[in-house]
Amino acid sequence: MGIEELTSGGTLLRITRWGEPVMHAKTRPVTDFNDDLRTLVRNMFATMEVARGVGLAATQVGSDLSLFIYDCPDADEINRVGAICNPVVTLPEGDSRNLESAEEGCLSLPGAFQPLARPDKATCTGVDPWGQPVTVHGTGLLARCLQHETDHLNGTVFGDRLSNRLRRKLYAQHEELAHLYPAEWPLVPRKTSAGE
């Protein structure tokens, strides 16, 4: 049994938006590693693919479980795919800590991006959808993804980590493009700027 079998065949789910309660509350640990959990993972992969994301937390599809998925390149441009339940992220400290500022966005606030400095390496431990221990060492975009998705499971959205000025810019950007993303997106496709 591997993650490959959960990356296809799922059903699209609506992506939850910032401001909805599930997005700002701490999740509960996954304790049942059953078919329901694996169906949720499969549905999350289907949703993330259509939404063109690199990571998706369970809270972003309305579930309060401590779970996220990723399909994301690392610093060497090697694409890494996985699902982690009950994740704990460890970040470098002292001399080995290097912050990297890069544009960050969120499928739950579609269309908006602002720079955010995060450590360029992260280690995430947890269990896979079958209950087996898993450790992922992330670099580059994957390191950012592991931090971003684990934040979601603790009720933190990346806007919470921005300065007031950048947060205002982020919301203004989102407002400008919000009309392109129906409330039921991606169940209802994104509109084009031409108004189709």
C-beta neighbour count of 166 within 10 angstroms: 14
Within 13 Å, how many C-alpha atoms sit on residue 97's CB side?
8
CB 84 within 8 A of CB 128: yes
Examine the residue annotation and report whether 176 is marked as an active-site residue of this protein.
no
Residues 6+ apart with CB under 8 A from 17: 23, 108, 109, 183
Of the candidates 100, 149, 175, 184, the residue annotated as catalytic is 149
Residues 6+ apart with CB under 8 A from 82: 3, 69, 70, 128, 134, 136
Sheet arrangement for strand 79-90: 55-57, 67-73, 79-90, 121-127, 133-139
Catalytic machinery residues: 149
